[in-house]
Chain A
Amino acid sequence: MALLTGWAAFLVSVGTIGCIYGLLTLGLNVHYGYTGLLNFGHVAFFAAGAYASAIVTMPPPSEVTNASYQIWFNLPMPYAFPVSLAAAAVVGGALAFLIGLTSVRLGTHYLAIATFALAGVFSDVLVNEAWLTNGSFGMNSVPKPGRAMLSADVWQLSYLLFAAGSLLAVYLLLERLMNAPFGRLLKGVRESEAAAKTLGKDTNVVKLKSFVIGGMVAGFAGGVYAHYLGSVVTAQFIPAVTFTVYAGMLLGGAASNTGAVVGAFTVVAFRESTRFITTVYNWIQSTLPDALSGVLPTVFSPLPNNPSFIPSMRFVVIGVLFVLVIRYRPEGLFGDPSEIQALGEED
């Protein structure tokens, strides 16, 4: 079977990454959208889940080059797949529990600083504790479930389906949770902790629960990600992931699970679109009449001719998207304006 080419391959990969970011955004939405917790360390839960999956399924170090990790379980695929994903969710939740236990009492902005800093610490731990994480080399032999039985294309498509199914399942689970009195409890704590306390609700416990649930979802996303790429490297888990997820959530509309998913896909699509900048440029250049062929190079000549210039436009694109949303549609695509405009506002 021929490899998926061009647009098809691109769409399948963007779709899968979109599903993974959809999961991450759903998790963050539990924190920020529903509970008002400004979590700026979301990537740490994602990383925790990815590493948990890797450790559970990696083959022994003797079979891997540059291996220095000392803990591996080498559970057999594909049966280990659900175990690995469960481990990812549990470890993501456990990290959220630990961070939440110390930080969740902090008010909004202080929590943002604490989570950001703790995520930085966690990232350093991942780089330095090579016995566990294989350091900056990363875990590069994470098995892809079912890959041996399927051709590359079929596997890519199957994994996309699996990721989409996971996203749907988590979405339905969270919808159920948030439409139940539990969601009402989270929202009340978001709106006014003081009032929630005087109405007999234990707000710190509520916030901790919210933190753990969102952390579990992000950890699960990490597991899906690890088995998709087949490798887990510290350089993948940078703060930009957290901010991309924020962009998706705000674009889609905080406190809306539908918004979280749509926003995540939109942001991922925007981000990946930068790879077409060169193609578009060349296409325009080729269609221009000869008389105008000097125009584009003149216009763009002040820009640095650096191979990393175009990829770095990713962040610019997301930044611009961010500004546009905040300026023109603060409630996002699916957010409820009456609900969102009061978000973070103390009575």
Chain B
Amino acid sequence: MSTDQQRSTDGSASDGSATDDGTDLLEVDSVVKHFGGLVANDGVTFDVEEASITGLIGPNGAGKSTLFNCITGVYTPDDGAVRLDGEPIHGLSPTKVAKRGVGRTFQTPKTFRGMTVRENMAFAAREQTGERALGALFRPGTIREEEGDIQATVDETLEFLKLDHLADEYASGLSGGQRKLLELGRVLMMDPQIILLDEPVAGVNPSLTDELLARLEELNDRGRTILFIEHDMDVVMEHCDRVVVMHDGRTLAVGPPEIVQQDERVVEAYLGGGDR
């Protein structure tokens, strides 16, 4: 896939980061979030283009996870706006944000441990008649039909994620990496407009990491928009179309990886920090 990356590297909060074309799916506009005296997000601004893979990086404490929580409705931003497809979604409940089409995973996967992989997946399907008590009792025909479709999608998605051999295992029996895949699969069952992943490959063994990243690339090729938090610079540089660098609750730089990588402030704040 390709995106026209004409954005300057200077995406800091001060420039307001105006939308440059009509393809921005998610707009994060000067988001501010305080916790008492602590300012976790201090005017974070960037856009996520449709059908792109955007990496969100920054040192620990930069406010990345807080921002994810502001986008997904877990927190209400104190100021600023989050828009999906031009519609504001900040201040909505997590349930409503998810219904609008924002799917997310967690840093430590929150799988349904006491349910099978298949049940985990099927849970996330939208608008199920059988989820309503009366529907469950009195509309067996509709449910059978819907359930057939849901299970077909589950099988397809599990096969895509190469989890099909674990379909009837309990999630509690899965490895950490497999749980991350399952969480991704569950999000896919919602058929979201944008997928937010919080450190999708952290703590996952190398072969499974490659597998997971390959799946993300393939999803992106199919037109999915992905925004993910990641610490591994190689991963970010290799797989992202654009990178957003956060530092001290602010957007430090936004742009294609090769340009962001050379930004002095980024090097100073993050990359130059030691191990690279």
A: residues with CB less than 8 A from B are: 173, 176-177, 180-185, 187-188, 190-192, 194-203, 209, 213, 255, 338-343, 345, 347
Q: Which residues of the partner chain A approach B109 to less than 8 Å between Cβ atoms?
A: 347
User: Is the CB of B72 closer than 8 A to any CB of chain A?
Assistant: yes
Q: Which of B106, B112, B122, B187 is packed against the most chain A CB atoms within 10 Å?
A: B112
CA distance A183 to B130 in the complex (A): 9
Given A180-B136, A185-B128, 18 extra CB contacts under 8 A: A177-B133, A181-B129, A181-B130, A184-B115, A185-B131, A187-B119, A188-B119, A194-B94, A195-B112, A198-B104, A199-B103, A199-B124, A200-B95, A200-B126, A338-B114, A342-B113, A343-B114, A347-B110
Give the secondary structure class of B's interface: helix
Determine if A184 and B123 form an interchain contact, defined as CB atoms under 8 angstroms apart.
yes
How many of B's residues come within 8 Å of A, CB to CB? 42
Given contacts A177-B133, A197-B93, A197-B98, A347 and B186 within 8 Å (CB-CB): no
Determine if B132 and A182 form an interchain contact, defined as CB atoms under 8 angstroms apart.
yes
CA distance A188 to B133 in the complex (A): 15
B: residues with CB less than 8 A from A are: 72, 93-95, 98-99, 103-104, 106, 108-115, 119-120, 122-124, 126, 128-133, 135-137, 143, 146-147, 170, 172-173, 183, 186-187, 190
8 Å CB contact of A181 from B98, B122, B183: B122
Q: Which residues of the partner chain A approach B132 to less than 8 Å between Cβ atoms?
A: 182
Given contacts A177-B133, A182-B133, A341-B172, A202 and B95 within 8 Å (CB-CB): yes
For this complex, 22 residue pairs linking A to B, each with C-beta atoms less than 8 Å apart, are A177-B137, A180-B136, A180-B137, A181-B122, A181-B130, A181-B143, A182-B132, A183-B136, A188-B112, A192-B110, A194-B94, A197-B94, A198-B94, A199-B98, A200-B124, A201-B123, A338-B170, A339-B114, A339-B115, A341-B172, A342-B172, A347-B108
Determine if B123 and A199 form an interchain contact, defined as CB atoms under 8 angstroms apart.
yes
Top 7 closest pairs, chain A to chain B, by CB: A181-B130, A180-B136, A191-B112, A200-B98, A195-B110, A342-B113, A182-B136
8 Å CB contact of B72 from A196, A198, A343: A198
8 Å CB contact of A200 from B99, B129, B135: B99
Q: Which of A181, A187, A199 is packed against the most chain B CB atoms within 10 Å?
A: A199
A200 — nearest CB in chain B belongs to which residue?
A: B98
8 Å CB contact of B115 from A182, A187, A200, A203: A187
Determine if A177 and B136 form an interchain contact, defined as CB atoms under 8 angstroms apart.
yes
Determine if B136 and A187 form an interchain contact, defined as CB atoms under 8 angstroms apart.
no
Q: Which residues of the partner chain B approach A347 to less than 8 Å between Cβ atoms?
A: 108-111, 113
CA distance A198 to B113 in the complex (A): 16
Given contacts A173-B137, A182-B132, A203 and B123 within 8 Å (CB-CB): no
CA distance A185 to B130 in the complex (A): 9
CA distance A187 to B114 in the complex (A): 8
Determine if B114 and A201 form an interchain contact, defined as CB atoms under 8 angstroms apart.
no
CA distance A213 to B115 in the complex (A): 22
Determine if A184 and B122 form an interchain contact, defined as CB atoms under 8 angstroms apart.
yes
A294 to chain B, nearest CB (A): 55
Q: Which residues of the partner chain A approach B147 to less than 8 Å between Cβ atoms?
A: 181
A338 — nearest CB in chain B belongs to which residue?
A: B170
Determine if B110 and A194 form an interchain contact, defined as CB atoms under 8 angstroms apart.
yes
Q: Which residues of the partner chain A approach B135 to less than 8 Å between Cβ atoms?
A: 180, 182
B150 — nearest CB in chain A belongs to which residue?
A: A181
B204 to chain A, nearest CB (A): 16
CA distance A283 to B267 in the complex (A): 89
Given contacts A182-B136, A184-B123, A191 and B143 within 8 Å (CB-CB): no
8 Å CB contact of B143 from A180, A190, A200, A203: A180
Determine if B113 and A191 form an interchain contact, defined as CB atoms under 8 angstroms apart.
yes
Determine if B115 and A181 form an interchain contact, defined as CB atoms under 8 angstroms apart.
no
CA distance A197 to B123 in the complex (A): 11
